[in-house]
């Protein structure tokens, strides 16, 4: 999920950065996650399916549900996974209320968000400056429960470019079925009005989850400060 915009001076750095930024490197946590024996994976903010492949490595028998609002990314995701009988994609964004909204579609699709991009993001990663509007449907995750066959243990991954708090707010009772949550959290605001790590931590703590660490920190290419990271949460007592 992180480090999409790595300095291109060197193939190794590009490859390593892509692994981190796209959320396709769970290797440091693979043993723990494999031992969870997930039966269901919810992939919120799927893009073109980068996380699906990694999820299959740690949960080969799980049913994976992906949620992606951008039409071309959704179509690429479906095409990529068409042979997987234990996969289903929904062409929708998730939030705290249902409706239709305008998404800020970035030329770099993984930087697209329901929130406007902050100047810090544009300054740090100038190649992401340009975006265009795209109408998308939004639903609450809790309202979709009847369309999902949830078997536990369940892994919930949320990577929605600053909209994470809204997804959590709309998850309702379904959130309580999560055995592990991996959520992208901002340390600095890369999108206008986004909830930062402290906000997400507080929301999940109040809902009975505890912080278990993070990985894939994204650093500013200018001064090296941490901008965001993927955080792990599990139910209290787990």
Q: What is the pLDDT along the chain (238 residues), one digit of tens a residue?
A: 544 444 433 333 333 443 444 455 688 888 999 999 999 999 999 999 999 999 999 999 999 999 999 999 999 999 999 999 999 999 999 999 999 999 999 988 888 999 989 899 988 888 888 889 999 999 999 999 999 999 999 999 999 999 999 999 999 999 999 999 999 999 999 999 999 999 999 999 999 999 999 988 989 898 899 999 999 999 998 7
Task: Provide the domain limits for residue 167.
Answer: 28-235
Q: Cβ atoms within 10 A of the Cβ of 115, count?
A: 19
Q: How far apart are CA 114 and CA 101, in angstroms?
A: 8
CATH number assigned to the domain comprising residue 146: 3.40.50.150
Q: What is the pTM of this model?
A: 0.89
Q: Cβ atoms within 10 A of the Cβ of 236, count?
A: 10
In a domain, 12, yes or no: no
Which ranges constitute the DSSP H helices of 125-196? 164-175
Domains identified in the chain, total number? 1
Is residue 112 within 8 A of residue 156, CB to CB? The reply is no
In a domain, 178, yes or no: yes
Beta pairing partners, 235: 209
């Amino acid at each position: 999920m992180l480090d999409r915009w790595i300095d291109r001076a060197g193939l190794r750095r590009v490859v390593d950065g892509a692994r981190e930024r796209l959320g396709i490197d769970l290797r440091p946590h693979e043993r723990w996650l494999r031992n969870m024996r997930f039966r269901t994976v919810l992939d919120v903010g799927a893009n073109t399916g980068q996380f699906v492949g990694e999820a299959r490595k740690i949960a080969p028998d799980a049913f994976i549900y992906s949620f992606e609002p951008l039409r071309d990314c959704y179509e690429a995701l479906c095409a990529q996974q068409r042979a997987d009988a234990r996969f289903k994609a929904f062409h929708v964004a998730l939030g705290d209320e249902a409706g239709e909204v305008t998404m800020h579609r970035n030329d770099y699709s993984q930087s697209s968000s329901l929130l406007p991009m902050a100047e810090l993001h544009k300054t740090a990663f100038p190649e992401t400056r340009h975006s265009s509007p795209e109408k998308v449907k939004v639903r609450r995750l809790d309202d979709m429960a009847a369309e999902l066959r949830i078997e536990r243990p369940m892994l919930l991954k949320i990577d929605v470019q600053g909209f994470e708090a809204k997804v959590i707010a709309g998850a309702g009772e379904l959130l309580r079925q999560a055995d592990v949550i991996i959520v992208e959290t901002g340390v600095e605001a890369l999108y206008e009005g986004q909830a930062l790590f402290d906000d997400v931590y507080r929301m999940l703590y109040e809902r009975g989850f505890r912080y278990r660490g993070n990985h894939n920190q994204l650093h500013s290419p200018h001064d090296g400060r941490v901008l965001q990271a993927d955080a792990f949460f599990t139910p209290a007592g787990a």
